[in-house]
Structure 1
Amino acid sequence: MKTRYLILEDGSCYKGYAFGSDNYQVGELVFNTGMSGYQEVLSDLSYCGQIVMMTYPLIGNYGINRDDFESLNPAVFGFVVKEACEKPSNFRGDMSVDEFLKLKHIPGIYGVDTRAITRKIRNKGTMRAIMADEGVNVEETVSMLKNTDFLHDQVKRVSTQKPFPIPNRGKKVVLMDFGAKHGIIRELSKRNCDLIVVPYDTSAEEIMALHPDGVMLSNGPGDPKDMEGPIKEIQKLMGQVPIFGICLGHQLISLACGANTTKLKFGHRGCNHPVVNLASGKVEITSQNHGFAVEEESLAGTDLVLTHRALNDKSVEGVKHSKYPVFSVQYHPEASPGPEDANYLFDDFMKLMEKENM
């Protein structure tokens, strides 16, 4: 077993063992509380620039399969686990997590105390980190981490470079790709939507020239305030076409309407986050992955109405526009991984397009 270290910007150094590749990169260390779904987590492009730590101790026991990817080219910068299963057992499994990480040039470390690291992040907030080999100069590495800025171009890195269609015979939906999960495409395709996936920097004029029945704003990585260009285009789209935003898309809609976003201390990442639908009073268990949130106080004076709230920290989880056919949620109704309690939101989007295009 090859020794590997995980070094944090606060000077902490955790000794563990290597798996995956040795393509070390500075990333934001975050934790995910899901008990399963590690394949979807690894392939979720919203983790671009981040080192993901799973709080559930045993990872890899069912391997990696061909069906559960949320992207084909993962953008995660590292993977931290307590135990890494070397010999997975599942009829769908094609390879181990170790083999997958090596294939995709992602470094991993196992054998570290993930509970202790999680408590540190909960107390101090997310922080920069990097993996390193034995013999590393920890003090120099910590100094480097402190002087390294977080990325600001994650969406550009993960968005499609060219538009592409996913033909069908139903409503025409333009999906603005900020790092879209395949789950969003699957849910729209299930509803026979004729999809056109476009790059994140596509103009409102180009989108409307496609004569869409609706526009979907996808999830994606990074600080929503880095997306000044797309925010302006979303402002132009409002009132012209129904819009549904998920995660980063939700934040961009809020910013486009004059609300504000802030960075959370350690974010929401996992499959078991309770959210209340304020209209029905029903609680939904949701899948989440975000480090930023909309400030509820900033909704005052905008045309946005709060529709969903997190039960754990009371943060904003959904809004709708009071004048235009526009709504969004902070969590993932497509799940992947996670519960499908909020899957009905895609049906709501279909009904909104039907109503607006009668």
Structure 2
Amino acid sequence: MTTVYNFNAGPSPIPAPVLAKAKEEMFNFEQSGMAVMEMSHRSALYEKIHFHAIDQIRKVLHIPEEFEILFLQGGATLQFSMVPMNFLPEDKSAAYVLTGSWSEKAQKEASAIGKVETFASSKDNDYRYIPSVDLGGLPENTAYVHLTSNNTIFGTQWPDFPEKSHCPVIVDMSSDILSRNIPWENIDMVYAGAQKNAGMSGVTLVILRKSLLEKANSQLPPSLSYKQHADKQSLYNTPPTAAVYITGLVADWIDEQHGVEGMAQLAKEKADMIYNLIDESNGFYTGHASVPSRSMMNITFRLPSENLEKKFLQEAAAKGFVGLNGHRSVGGCRISNYNAVPVSHVKILKDFMIEFMNRHS
């Protein structure tokens, strides 16, 4: 079997022990004669999988009891619309902090539902930094403020979340969920597609404060209502059973690796290898993000010319590196450093980058 070094931005690697366990039991779960994907979502056997995954997510993320944990479908993209549908009344506006393409898309979808304002933005500098914000400066009629914690395309990440003020704080954490601690005292809702750090595509995690849930729009169709999904414990309709099962296994694995604290330490160790190389390359590799805003999850950089970038990517692909292309909207190169990327793979990539630089400097 050819060795592959998977640095895809998403879907991205799943921890090898998780895949091994899934291979062992997923297609005959607890000797039931049924695969996880075949059993009834109303059965006691599936409920065991379902509630174990919820309990483990709560454990590893240290989620207080005043928060609900939901497993929904439609990806994080559906949340761009569900959030304003549930929490943006006609007489208020929503504030968006723009730090990249995904926050732009979230704002655009919300604008189809109600009034939105840009509270802060780093678009003026091609999204190279995270803007400094004081949430105390939000207008009184703000329904909520929306942040995107990590920006996969531009390679920036909020190093710390701002202190909460008078309105709810909602965060898209699709690309750094389970890689860092979350200050729940300053956040009212988090949502994340699972396919980067929390498992496989198909399930979306939504974690929201119960007091916020009580303020949700009660006139929505049930399938778009957070309250309905919470009341039915994410079993209002058939959940993506296999994806929920994998998320549970990923949470188990993270728990065994010293939790999100262990993941944060590992992410920094791996990212530092590449950032130190970039900083010491005398401009051969140039990072996109400003140093204080650098992402631990997505490292974006350019080479001296597009032709050299093309050659770099071609040679990397020939050596088994996958997913190093920058996003099609910005070009360049990108290393996605999610939880399941092994330290050894980052070391091998660093060695290749050094060898390539030495040949072409």
Q: Which has the higher contact order (CA 8 A, sep 6+)?
A: 2
Bigger fraction of residues in helix: 2
TM over 0.5: no
Bigger fraction of residues in strand: 1
